């Protein structure tokens, strides 16, 4: 997180998850509901790493909505296996 604050939800992917909207052309899927969702509150200087099997929900406002600047880095999973 570069500036601002954001809450993110995440959960392990489960076979019981039902995709409500397939946005795979944008590298995203929307789900109806998540089981055992956990929330993280991120502030400037903090970061989080999500793995391919983690379902995550970014962009949740913390208190009053405000501007957020963040860096997102995606690494091809093939590189993690070498």
Pairwise pLDDT comparison (23 vs 62), residue with the higher score = 62
| Average pLDDT of the chain to the nearest whole number | 81
| Partners of 54 in the β-ladder | 12
Structure-token pair, residue 74: 């995606």
Q: Among 55, 59, 79, which residue's Cα sits nearest to residue 67?
A: 59
- pLDDT of 10 strictly over 70: yes
Decide the pairing of beta strands 19-23 and 28-31: antiparallel
Q: Residues 21-56: pLDDT tens digits?
A: 766 776 666 666 777 888 999 999 999 998 877 878
Domain boundaries, the chain: 6-81
């Amino acid at each position: 997180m570069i500036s601002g604050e954001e809450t993110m939800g995440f959960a392990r992917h489960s076979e019981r998850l039902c995709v409500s909207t397939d946005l795979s052309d944008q590298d995203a899927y929307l789900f109806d509901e998540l089981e055992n969702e956990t929330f993280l509150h991120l502030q400037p200087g903090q970061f989080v790493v999500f793995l391919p099997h983690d379902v995550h929900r970014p962009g949740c406002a913390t208190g009053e909505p405000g501007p957020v600047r963040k860096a997102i880095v995606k690494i091809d999973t093939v590189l993690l296996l070498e």
